[in-house]
């Protein structure tokens, strides 16, 4: 009889601990919310951010066709197994912006924000943001999309 109570007690404790582990893990939810917050206040939409695969030097590239996006992701995925999937964009309605931070220590990214818009041009500010400081050397990048425009697109560091 005593063994029966011990078995029931052990089973209930195990179920309780497993339920705590399952319902308390919020690491996946936190990352997505942070990324969407980056570009919520402008015409830009953040598509993807990653710490590895960007250019070794800081650069911002305006991508207006599928072929250029494919080439950019071929470069990003050069050292990845498996590679990141190429996002599906409608280049008749959208333009992509690939912002590479260059080499950095730790996790960081380039944040873009619309500064001004005229009938002839769009001016974006970009700011390098350091999320964490570590000894790891990364080459972070972010891919944004925005509605298609014929206006000149200019990037200025804030």
Q: E strands, 31-78, where?
A: 45-50, 59-63
Structure tokens that stand for 98 in this block: 């690939």
| pLDDT per position as a tens digit, 31-79 | 444 444 444 457 999 999 988 888 888 899 999 999 999 999 999 998 7
At residue 108 the predicted structure's pLDDT band, cuts being 50, 70 and 90, is confident
Q: Are residues 43 and 32 in the same domain?
A: no
Mean pLDDT across the stretch 114-140? 83
Number of domains in the chain: 2
Q: Are residues 79 and 151 in the same domain?
A: yes
Q: Are residues 137 and 64 in the same domain?
A: yes
Q: Are residues 52 and 33 in the same domain?
A: no
Q: What pLDDT score does 52 carry?
A: 87
Question: To which H or E segment does residue 6 belong?
Answer: helix 2-24
Q: Are residues 83 and 124 in the same domain?
A: yes
The pTM for the full model equals 0.69
Q: Are residues 33 and 55 in the same domain?
A: no
Q: E strands, the chain, where?
A: 45-50, 59-63, 94-100, 104-105, 108-117, 121-130, 137-138, 141-147, 152-157
Q: Are residues 64 and 117 in the same domain?
A: yes
Q: What pLDDT score does 110 carry?
A: 81
Q: Are residues 79 and 104 in the same domain?
A: yes
**Residue 58 belongs to domain spanning:** 39-157
Structure tokens that stand for 8 in this block: 């029931």
| pLDDT per position as a tens digit, 135-158 | 788 888 999 999 999 999 999 988
Q: Are residues 14 and 67 in the same domain?
A: no
> For a pLDDT cut of 70, what percent of the chain falls above it?
71
Q: Is the pLDDT of residue 111 over 50?
A: yes
Q: Are residues 118 and 43 in the same domain?
A: yes
Q: Are residues 69 and 22 in the same domain?
A: no
Q: Are residues 24 and 75 in the same domain?
A: no
Our CA dihedral for 113, 132, 86, 79, rounded to 10 degrees, sits at 140
Q: What pLDDT score does 136 carry?
A: 81
Q: Is the pLDDT of residue 29 over 70?
A: no
Q: Is the pLDDT of residue 129 over 80?
A: no
Angle at 72 between CA 119 and CA 122, to 5 degrees: 10
Q: What integer best gives the mean pLDDT of the chain?
A: 79
């Amino acid at each position: 009889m005593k063994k029966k109570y011990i078995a029931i007690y052990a089973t209930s404790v195990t179920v309780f601990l497993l339920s705590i582990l399952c319902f308390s893990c919020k690491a996946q939810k936190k990352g997505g919310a942070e990324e969407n917050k980056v570009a919520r206040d402008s015409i830009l939409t953040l598509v993807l951010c990653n710490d590895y695969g960007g250019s070794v030097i800081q650069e911002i590239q305006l991508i207006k066709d599928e072929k250029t996006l494919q080439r950019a992701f071929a470069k990003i995925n050069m050292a990845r197994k498996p590679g990141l999937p190429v996002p599906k964009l409608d280049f008749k309605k959208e333009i992509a912006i690939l912002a590479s931070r260059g080499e950095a220590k730790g996790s960081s990214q380039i944040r873009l924000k619309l500064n001004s818009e005229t009938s002839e041009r769009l001016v974006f500010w970009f700011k390098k943001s350091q999320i964490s400081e570590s000894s790891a050397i990364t080459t972070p990048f972010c891919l944004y999309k925005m509605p298609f425009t014929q206006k000149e697109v200019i990037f200025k560091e804030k």
